[in-house]
Chains A and B, each alone.
Chain A
């Protein structure tokens, strides 16, 4: 069964600084990978996803993520953080079997200082 680890529970960055949120997964084959964002009191919104092909994927709100098979990682990056990016971010992994479920990491809370 697949699993996801987000090593950082809480990250604080200054507005305008770059951001990298880490995600490591465990799965026997090439997984489907997702990053979601959750603003306070809201549901989860998809930022980006990786299914196959180019290992650098672009998402909404200026985010990107890179799939590195050798490191079993799918880290999320943004060159310049805005105050509105403060939220909780979840990495998720899905399997390639037709009935394999989506599994989430525990999340990383991002605080943005002015």
Chain B
């Protein structure tokens, strides 16, 4: 049972570089999320997709873009990475948005130098 799979697990970027974080779920969930986790800040929602074909901004969307490629996949793109985007990124999915439990991937640790 794979659940939610994130790639890569670790990444180091130089300031200004771009990259895409990949997320796939095999639970046929409708909703998917991207969070970032920083010390003392908890999990902050970057973007979410309530269902295939829709995306919405969360609490901290600046500097990020997302694509809900299909029901399984939800990618997060950093167009021009900044040191402030150094964080641990978590993808999650849930059957519905907000009123069902979310299942999390193992995280991507991103460092921007």
Instruction: Report if A and B associate in a common complex.
Output: yes
Scan residues 19-75 of chain A and give those whose CB is less than 8 A from a CB of chain B. 32, 34, 36, 42-46, 49, 51
Scan residues 38-67 of chain B and give those whose CB is less than 8 A from a CB of chain A. 40-45, 48, 50, 56, 58
B residues in contact with A32, CB < 8 Å: 98-100
Query: Of all chain B residues, which has the CB nearest A95?
Result: B98
Instruction: Give the interface size class of chain A.
Output: 20 to 34
Interface string of B31-43 (1 = CB under 8 A from A): 0010100001111
Instruction: Say yes or no: A94-B90 contact (C-beta < 8 A), given A43-B105, A101-B45, A106-B42.
Output: no
Interface positions of B (Cβ within 8 A of A): 4, 33, 35, 40-45, 48, 50, 56, 58, 90, 92, 94, 96-107
Q: Could you pull out 20 A-B pairs where Cβ atoms are within 8 angstroms? A: A32-B98, A43-B90, A43-B104, A43-B107, A44-B104, A46-B103, A92-B102, A95-B99, A98-B50, A98-B96, A98-B97, A98-B99, A100-B97, A100-B99, A101-B48, A102-B33, A102-B45, A102-B97, A105-B42, A107-B43
12 A-B pairs besides A94-B99, A98-B50, A101-B45 with CB distance below 8 A are: A43-B106, A44-B90, A45-B104, A90-B42, A94-B98, A95-B99, A96-B99, A98-B97, A101-B48, A101-B56, A102-B92, A104-B35
